[in-house]
Amino acid sequence: MRDLPSTRPASLAMRSLTLMLALASVLWGAAGLGGAPARAAADSAGVSAAPQVGQPAPDFSAVDSEGHTRSLAEFKGKTVVLEWTNADCPYTRKHYTSGNMQAAQQLAREHGVVWLSVISSAPGTQGYVTGAQADELSRTRHAVPAAVLLDPAGTMGRAYHAKTTPHLYIIDGQGILKYMGGMDSIATADIDDIAKAEPYLKEALLDVVDGKPVAHPVTRPYGCSIKYR
C-alpha cells in the first residue's frame, strides 16, 4: 500500500502565511498606511487617529478668548489655518518678534482665510494664559488672528496630534486637511534664518487658495513641545 503524502507541512505553511499576513496588516495600520480601516480600528479602541492630509480634518469645539464657542463646522466653505502657539516659547517668539507670523496672518486675511491661534498649554505650565491675557498678547504683538482658541485640557491639540509651538494646519472649505507641519524649513530659534528658509506655510496657504496641489503637504514641525496637562 502506497503511503499518502503528509498534509502536515502544507498545514504548517498555511498557518505561517496567515500569521505573516496578520502581522503585515498590523504594521500597515501602525504606519498610518491603512487609511480608513486603520482609523476605524483606532476609533473603536478609544484612541484618536493621527490626522492625514487629504482626509477630513478632525472637528473641534473650543472656547475663544472672548468666551465664544467655536467649531470647525462654523467655518464651512472657508479655508482655515490652525496655529498652535506659546508666547513664552523662543521658537514662537522668533516668528512674532520678526513679524513673520503676523505677515502670514495678514496674508490669510487678505485672501479670506480664517486664522485661528490655539493655546493648549495646561494651567500652571509655560504658555498658559487666560482669555484676557490672550487678547493682550494679540494687541501687543500686533497679531491678527480671527480668534484665539483656549484649549487648556488639550482636547483639540490631541485630536490634531499637535506637537510643537508653532505647529500649523491648513483646512480647505470642504473640511479637508491640506497641510500640516512647520512654519518654514529651518528649525532654529534664530530670526536671521527666516529669510533663508523656504516658507512652507505661506506657500501652502497660497496653493490652497489658488486650488493647486500643495507642493509640500506634510513637513516637520519644530519648536517647543506643547505643555499638555
Query: Do residues 38 and 129 both lie within one domain?
Result: no
Chain segment 135-148, per-residue pLDDT in tens: 999 999 999 999 99
Say which CATH number the domain at 185 has: 3.40.30.10
- In this model, does residue 57 exceed pLDDT 60? yes
Q: Could you tell me if residue 204 is inside a domain? A: yes
Q: How confident is the model at residue 47 (pLDDT cuts 50, 70, 90)?
A: low
Residue 103 has which C-alpha cell?
505677515
Residues 56 and 128 in one domain: yes
Pairing of strands 114-119, 147-150: parallel
- How many distinct structural domains can be found in the chain? 2
**Which residue would you say has higher pLDDT here, 34 or 109?**
109
Q: Which domain holds residue 211?
A: 51-225
Residues 127, 119: Cα–Cα separation, whole Å: 8
Tell me the whole-structure pTM to 2 decimals: 0.81
Same-domain check for residues 10 and 82: no
Contact 81, 204 (CB under 8 A): no
Q: Are residues 186 and 206 in the same domain?
A: yes
- Cβ–Cβ < 8 Å for 164, 226: yes
Higher pLDDT pick, 2 / 134: 134
Kindly state whether residues 144 and 191 are assigned to the same domain. Answer: yes
Are both 217 and 120 inside the same structural domain? yes
pLDDT digits (tens, 9 = 90+) for 65-88: 999 999 999 999 999 999 999 999
